[in-house]
Amino acid sequence: MDEFYYISSDVLDIETIFNVVENKLKLRLSDEAKINIERCRKYLDNKIGENKKPIYGINTGFGSLCNVTIDEKHLSTLQENLVMSHACGTGEKVPTSVVKLMLLLKIQSLSYGHSGVQLDTVLRLIDFYNEDVLPVVYTQGSLGASGDLAPLAHLALPLLGKGEVYYEGKITASETVLKKKKWKPIVLQSKEGLAMLNGTQFMSAYGVWCIMNAYRLSYLADLIGTISLDAFDGLTEPFHRLIHLVRPHKGQIKTAERILRFIEGSEIAIQKKTQVQDPYSFRCMPQVHGASKDALAYVRKVFKTEMNSVTDNPNIFVDQDEVLSGGNFHGQPLAMALDYLGIALAEWGSISERRTYQLISGQRGLPSFLVNDPGLNSGLMIPQYTAASIVSQNKQLATPASVDSIVSSNGQEDHVSMGANAATKCFKIMENLKSILAIELLTASQALAFRRPMKSSSFIEDFCSAYTEKVSFVDKDRIFHNDIQTTIGFLETVELNAPLFQN
């Protein structure tokens, strides 16, 4: 039997969305949401009938055409034309996991009753979500202001029986799927096309996806870094609680506590050391990993506000008898937050690659490149090259998008956020980070094996044992691409048994 999440005015947060996605919950509108939607639509119909003055986007053109009044008999055509003309996305196709989040966030925003859409329109979006009829959306085309116009236009096309959708594992014309489902195309009423296109759901969906994954990667960065620390025969003193209480950044304290918990009981950790200090990539994990944790916490707060907001334009306030045109579609809060998250993710990768480099460098009793018979075998020399290359790309991708702006719509839209570019860059950085951490785990696991018969903590030994069932010890050269890909898969699926969203 299907389980449902009811769209309502209850506060939506990252954990709720994760639960909906992870447990494949279907969506339903609460009675409250249905009432809000229908009440707003009725108000708008009455408003148009009683008042013939221009109301932006409802009986006028759009953008710099806002002063062109549209006859009442053309209002439906106006909205359909808006959707078709704005569906000019290009680039790569947006992953279906992100498209599904776009649908969820758009439904949530429309449910508050400030957008003027028909109930049937929202119910059809819910049908798309529940039955995995997912619009084909493209990554390029949004300036992150006036809403994510091009991506959201592609999201809206299937409502009209236009465009393409993913259905049953392939891309199909939406008209074909609607006929198969016996769904009639929606006839858009006044304001509805604009309500669909104005909004930040493209940026928001990417951000939510990146945040959910970032918490998992934060945990893995700490764990893999700790495996590297022990394999490098590193010191535990830098993680002593007293050090971090006198500089009490929350993420720093959390990281140090977690590292000590991971390494507790390690034979390697308690053996006598010859070095006085370790390189910063080991010693300063709390400070570096922790700063990224704190950035993630800030970004999560921004997105929690956004996904509980109405971001189309104009906004309709039934109780106050107001239809107000403003700028809630402007993505500046998201653009800056996404840039910040991209930097945070890139730093986890940057310090990870440095630990990989140290492990293969022939120090602390470890063989060069962590292989027997170096020379005949190159060992883990080139995986580190790969990590270095990806880290460099992440540095380039982490250049802020939000400091840029390009004038559009004949000067009417003269400052834009570029939040969509920040979103897709952040997603790429996140995917790159998985590869970097995978290379570190491959390297750290190999280095740990050279410490035998001494063992690390039972926690680390159990984790590495599960890993080496997938990727075995490297006794001679082989095709490391396969090992890296297998390791990425392991990191994406391994059960962590940790409350991810509390760090």
Active site residues: 56
Number of C-beta neighbours around residue 498 at 10 A: 14
Rounded to an integer, what is the distance from CA 86 to the centroid of its chain? 24
At position 220, the amino acid (one-letter code) is L
Are 335 and 422 contacting, i.e. CB atoms less than 8 angstroms apart? Answer: yes
Copy the structure tokens of residue 400: 């802020």
Q: Which of 338, 271, 105, 112 is nearest to 202 (CA)?
A: 105
* Distance (Å) of CA 365 to CA 27, 224, 274: 57, 20, 11
Distance CA 332, CA 399 (A): 16
What one-character-per-residue DSSP string does 476-499 give? S---HHHHHHHHHHHHHH----S-
Q: How far apart are CA 244 and CA 141, in angstroms?
A: 45
User: Quick one: tokens of 303?
Assistant: 């997105």
- Bridge-partner residues for 6, per DSSP? 28
The terminus-to-terminus CA distance of the chain in angstroms comes to: 34
d(CA 83, CA 249): 47
CA 284, 290, 295: angle at the middle one, nearest 5? 140
Strands (E) located in 318-437 = 322-324
Contact between 172 and 58 under an 8 Å Cβ cutoff? The reply is: no
Would you give the distance in Å from CA 439 to the centre of its chain?
A: 22
What span, in angstroms and rounded, lies between the C-alpha atoms of 264 and 256? 12
Residue 246 DSSP label: T
Q: Which residues contact 33 (CB under 8 A, 6 or more apart)?
A: 6, 7, 8, 9, 111, 112, 113
203 φ, ψ to 5°? -60, -45
456 touches 232 (CB < 8 A): no
Using omega within 30 degrees of 0 as the cis cutoff, is the peptide bond preceding 333 cis? no
* Six-digit token string for 7: 């769209």
Per-residue CA distances from 501 to 13, 219, 260 (Å): 11, 10, 20
